[in-house]
Every structure is written in C-alpha cells, then in structure tokens.
C-alpha cells in the first residue's frame, strides 16, 4: 500500500479511519483497568489524533507511522507527542513501552508479515506481564471494504479476523484478557465491525 500517496491525495479529515476523539473502546479499557499514567506507543498513528488525546491525559506518548507524510502532518498537532517515522516490521525503536495501541495497522499487513509484527511487538512492549497491548482490527463479521474513498482488493487489506483467529495468532506470545465485538469509529456513514483486543505480555 502506497501510504505516501494516500496521505498526499486524501484530506486527513476525510479518511475512513479519522477520529478526532480518543477511541471509545480504548477509553473504556483505560477506565476499567484504572490505567492513568505510563508510556504509550501509538503504532500506525496516521492522523495522530489518538496519540494527541493520550498525551492530553498525561501519558508519555510516541506515535509512529510508516508514512513520513503522515508523521509530518501529525507533528503539527502537538508538541507533547514524539512522532517518528518507523516501520513496525523493521522497527528501529529501542524503548520499551508500558502500553501499545494499534488502531488499524495490523489488519493491513500481509499474512507473511504477521510473525515479524509479533516479534517486534514483543520487543517494544514491557515483558513479564508489565506490558499491555490494545489492538483494534476488522472483524470477520464485516463485509470487505476499501480504505477511505480508494477501493482495494481484499487480498491487500484490511484483513478481517474472527476471535478464534486472533487467539491462534497471538496467544503464544500474549495473555489475551478480552476480545470484544465493536465498531471502527471514523468518517464512514456506517461504522465497520471490528474486534477490540486487550492483551498483556506473557509472564515468565
């Protein structure tokens, strides 16, 4: 996927995944688990709104995206977030984070890239049950859709996942606390169906 092209051609506020407020499912999870401080990584930060909202709540936030254009535009939103261009499949991040939020990165990856994604995710989240991952991805209950106004083949994403598939992919590396059927808030008139997964790093 040519993310540079997408972020240059489509106004950010018209992108299907643009959401100005903090994702409601993440907000609910933070409240339920009494999470109020710590370091947060927003993987695939895109428009940067989620990273900014987390920073406004007092978290130390880093937002990364493979698109330099997205990072440049997101950096204009706040000086309280460290926005960096980075590829989660070949990450150069050296810090470990208390929390990682992925609101749409994983489900646009190719299946062959899932092992690299998980390997790097386990490196950048704190180990031994101290690191949390919040993942939002397209649900198997959702019909195939495109990205923004651009129609793309289903084989190139976003992929759709069942609860069982998420368990199969992540359970060897993370303790999955919860998988909820929810929706992807954004600019679409009808919000796509998604899964919201809460995981913690496996205790040794």
Question: pLDDT tens-digit profile of 135-190?
Answer: 999 999 987 665 445 445 555 568 999 999 999 999 999 999 999 999 998 777 77
**Residues near 200 by beta carbon (within 8 Å), at least 6 away in sequence:** 129, 130, 131, 132, 133, 174, 175, 177
Closest CA to 179 of 165, 163, 160, 159: 163
- The backbone region for 48, taken as left when phi is positive above 0, alpha when psi lies in -120 to 50, beta otherwise, is left
Where is average pLDDT lowest: 1-15, 29-43, 114-128? 1-15
Considering only the C-alpha atoms of the chain, give the largest distance between any 2 of them, rounded to a whole number of Å. 46
The C-alpha atoms of residue 105 and residue 127 are separated, in whole angstroms, by 22
Helix/strand/coil for 162: coil
Percentage of the chain with pLDDT > 70?
A: 84
Global pTM reads 0.88
Handedness of CA 112, 116, 122, 125 (dihedral sign): negative
User: Which regions of 36-151 does DSSP assign to beta strands (E)?
Assistant: 39-43, 60-65, 81-85, 99-103, 132-138
Helix/strand/coil for 40: strand
Average pLDDT over all residues of the chain: 89
How far from chain centre, in Å, is Cα 76? Answer: 20
Q: What pLDDT does residue 109 have?
A: 93
Helix/strand/coil for 114: helix
C-alpha triplet 174, 197, 122: angle, nearest 5°? 30
């Amino acid at each position: 996927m040519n993310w540079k092209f997408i972020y240059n051609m489509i106004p950010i506020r018209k992108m299907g995944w643009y959401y100005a407020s903090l994702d409601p499912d993440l907000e609910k999870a933070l409240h339920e688990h009494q999470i109020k401080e710590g370091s947060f990584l927003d993987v695939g930060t895109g428009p940067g709104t989620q990273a900014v909202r987390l920073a406004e709540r007092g978290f130390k936030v880093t937002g990364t995206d493979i698109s330099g254009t997205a990072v440049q535009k997101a950096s204009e939103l706040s000086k309280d977030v460290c926005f960096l261009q980075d590829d989660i499949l070949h990450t150069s991040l050296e810090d470990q984070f208390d929390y990682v939020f992925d609101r749409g990165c994983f489900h646009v990856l190719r299946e062959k890239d899932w092992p690299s994604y998980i390997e790097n995710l386990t490196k950048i989240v704190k180990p031994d049950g101290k690191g949390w991952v919040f993942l939002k991805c397209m649900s198997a209950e959702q019909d195939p859709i495109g990205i923004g106004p651009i129609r793309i083949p289903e084989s190139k994403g976003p992929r759709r996942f069942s609860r069982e598939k998420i368990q199969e992919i992540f359970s060897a590396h993370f303790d999955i606390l919860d998988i909820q059927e929810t929706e992807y808030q954004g600019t679409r008139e009808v919000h796509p169906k998604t899964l919201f997964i809460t995981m913690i790093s496996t205790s040794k």
